[in-house]
Amino acid sequence: MRTQVGIIGSGPSGLLLARLLHLQGIETVILEGRSREYVQGRIRAGVIEQGMANLLREARAGERMDREGLVHEGINIAFDGRLERIDFPTHTNGKVVMVYGQTEITYDLMKAHIDEAGGIAQYESPAIRVEDYHTDSPRILYEQNGEQKELLCDFVAGCDGFHGVARQSIPSDQIKTFQRTYPFGWLGMLSDVPPVRDELVYVNHERGFALCSMRSHTRSRYYIQCTMDDKVENWTDDAFWEELCRRLPPEAAADVTRGPRLEMSITPLHSFVAEPLRFGRLFLAGDAGHIVPPTGAKGLNLAASDIYYLFRALLAYYKEERRDLLERYSEAALRRVWKAVRFSWWYTSLLHKFDDDAMNRRLQISELEYLTSSEAGQTVIAENYVGLPYERFE
Ligand SMILES: Cc1cc2nc3c(=O)[nH]c(=O)nc-3n(C[C@H](O)[C@H](O)[C@H](O)COP(=O)(O)OP(=O)(O)OC[C@H]3O[C@@H](n4cnc5c(N)ncnc54)[C@H](O)[C@@H]3O)c2cc1C
């Protein structure tokens, strides 16, 4: 089989790239290791920056998001028994974020690209490795129904997440990686109950971090910081609600509606960046190239900004026979990646409990007091949270 752009992975980055290219008449084939139902059902991110929302509109897959997504104009930060609000439009010239689940985005992109436009996506077809990416005809070796096959392409987009094979196809002396593992995880619970507040509440508490998030007016996503070796089996629904309420300021805890779990899982927290993101005709995008702790809600949004740059680079190649943007992809994408990695690390450090050191705790509280009471401090949080602008790339 042959295509113009072979895409490994049908997560948000692979689907978005395929959809944008398809609308420009550029052929793609997506190879995905899991079943379509499995990919669609994965519960993950939910906060969308304006840059990503605009890209979904450009992909003509943003209609339901615009109808059902919740526009958020701020976040709340709770610390030392107080609840402070950071207003986005005031500090960012009118910017906001959209709350709309990754599962919904995945569904919308699959429907638009596969069901309506007839785009090719082969599920249960795991890629094994990428070969010949330094030639004009790279190949993806993959497995389907127990048989080994190959997909010949002009370009390969490695959109196959952190554990994918695209990055692993690069010899270790040609790629540099940076990583940090945080000494805790997030225990997350999804429940069909109304959220405690209309906007997200980030909590710094002496017992550990908590986050009150949501997917809709009737579906809440709550998280509490847990130890790295904790297990979902250790938690009943009641124990989760009790611990969450202990960490919230009393007036917010009193408003929590409790209900049974729809899902409960533990997410470890890591920062990881691979450099570069381009190897000849193989490009890494999204979690395949970098991951961030979820505190700043940046993982999914970074996947979208990579696709913004990669899509434009491929378009310039096919429509104008230009190679310059392909050559600049890694540099441009990584500039934005590192800023988000920095923000996610800083925001994680500000809100989590790292140890029992009383001095560290007082310093966190003092920094939060300063940030939430200063216009400059509020701007630092707001402009990073709504997402730093994409560079012009043309
Ligand atoms: C548990 C969890 C919670 C998260 N919560 C948040 C959050 O709250 N906020 C936030 O911003 N981000 C969050 N993230 C991060 C966010 O979900 C990711 O950044 C986003 O999914 C990246 O999209 P992607 O398409 O690059 O990668 P993925 O969504 O990981 O998609 C990669 C795809 O490639 C497929 N694949 C892997 N290997 C192969 C192979 N060999 N062959 C073919 N296909 C393959 C995988 O099955 C998958 O479908 C979370 C991530 C996880 C894991």
Is 249 known to be catalytic? Answer: no
Q: How confident is the model at residue 358 (pLDDT cuts 50, 70, 90)?
A: very high
Q: Pick the closest to residue 86 from 299, 385, 295 (CA basis).
A: 385
Q: Pick the closest to residue 277 from 179, 180, 174 (CA basis).
A: 174
Shortest-distance atom of ligand 1 to CA 160: 34
* CA–CA separation, 290 and 273 (whole Å): 4
Nearest 5°: the CA angle 281, 105, 298 is: 70
Q: Which residue has the tokens 């002009």?
A: 154
Q: What is the pLDDT of residues 301-350, one digit of tens each?
A: 999 999 999 999 999 999 999 999 999 999 999 999 999 999 999 999 99
Shortest-distance atom of ligand 1 to CA 102: 17
Is 298 known to be catalytic? Answer: yes
User: 11 near 44, Cβ under 8 Å?
Assistant: no
Residues contacting ligand 1 via CB (< 6 Å): 8-14, 31-34, 39, 44-46, 102, 126-127, 159-161, 163-165, 267, 286-287, 294, 297-300, 303
The two tokens of residue 158 are 């490695």
Q: For a substitution probing ligand 1, which of 287, 308, 341, 386 has the most ligand atoms within 8 Å of its CB?
A: 287
Q: How far is the CA of 269 from the centre of ligand 1 (A)?
A: 14
Task: Name the catalytic one among 202, 222, 308, 317.
Answer: 202
Question: Whose CA is closest to atom 2 on ligand 1?
Answer: 44
Angle, nearest 10°, between helix axes 299-320 and 324-351?
Answer: 170
Is 202 known to be catalytic? Answer: yes
Q: For a substitution probing ligand 1, which of 39, 106, 122, 160 has the most ligand atoms within 8 Å of its CB?
A: 160
Say what the pLDDT of residue 43 is.
82
DSSP string, 251-287: HHHTTPPP--EEEEEEEEEEEEEEE-SEETTEEE-GG
Task: Name the catalytic one among 294, 308, 347, 353.
Answer: 294
Angle, nearest 10°, between helix axes 375-385 and 324-351?
Answer: 130
Please tell me the total number of residues recorded for the chain in this structure. 394
Q: For a substitution probing ligand 1, which of 43, 102, 282, 347 has the most ligand atoms within 8 Å of its CB?
A: 102
* CA–CA separation, 174 and 177 (whole Å): 10
Q: Pick the closest to residue 330 from 175, 178, 140, 180 (CA basis).
A: 175
* CA–CA separation, 248 and 203 (whole Å): 7
* CA–CA separation, 318 and 25 (whole Å): 10
Average of per-residue pLDDT across 209-216? 95
Task: Name the catalytic one among 22, 72, 91, 353.
Answer: 72
Q: How far is the CA of 44 from the centre of ligand 1 (A)?
A: 8
pTM: 0.96
Q: How confident is the model at residue 214 (pLDDT cuts 50, 70, 90)?
A: very high
DSSP, res 294: G
DSSP string, 121-184: EESS--EEEEE-TTSSS-EEEEEETTEEEEEEEEEEEE---TT-STGGGS-GGG-EEEEEEEEE
Q: How far is the CA of 162 from the centre of ligand 1 (A)?
A: 7
DSSP string, 182-244: EEEEEEEEEESS--SSSS-EEEE-TT--EEEEESSSS-EEEEEEE-TT--GGG--HHHHHHHH
Judged against a pLDDT cut of 90, whether residue 42 lies above it is answered with: no
How would you classify the pairing of strands 290-291 and 176-191?
Answer: unpaired
Question: Whose CA is closest to atom 27 on ligand 1?
Answer: 161
Question: Whose CA is closest to atom 26 on ligand 1?
Answer: 286
Average per-residue pLDDT for the chain: 97
Average of per-residue pLDDT across 356-368? 97
Task: Name the catalytic one among 95, 113, 298, 352.
Answer: 298
Is 318 known to be catalytic? Answer: no
User: 65 near 105, Cβ under 8 Å?
Assistant: yes
Judged against a pLDDT cut of 90, whether residue 44 lies above it is answered with: no
**Helix (H/G/I), strand (E/B), else coil: 332:** helix
Question: Whose CA is closest to atom 31 on ligand 1?
Answer: 11
Burial 331-369 (b: 16+ CB within 10 A, else e): ebbbebbeebbebbbebbebbbbeeeeeeebeebeeebe
Question: Whose CA is closest to atom 6 on ligand 1?
Answer: 45
Q: Pick the closest to residue 348 from 240, 280, 268 (CA basis).
A: 268
Average of per-residue pLDDT across 176-193? 97
Q: How far is the CA of 42 from the centre of ligand 1 (A)?
A: 9
Average of per-residue pLDDT across 153-181? 98
Task: Name the catalytic one among 182, 309, 385, 390.
Answer: 385
Question: Whose CA is closest to atom 8 on ligand 1?
Answer: 45
DSSP, res 113: I
Interacting residues of 273 by C-beta distance below 8 A, sequence separation 6+: 177, 178, 179, 289, 290, 334, 337, 338, 341
Q: What is the pLDDT of residues 281-308, one digit of tens each?
A: 999 999 999 999 999 999 999 999 999 9
- C-alpha separations of 343 from 43, 85, 199, 229, 346 in Å: 23, 19, 20, 26, 5
- Phi and psi at 30, nearest 5°, equal -95, 130
Is 308 known to be catalytic? Answer: no
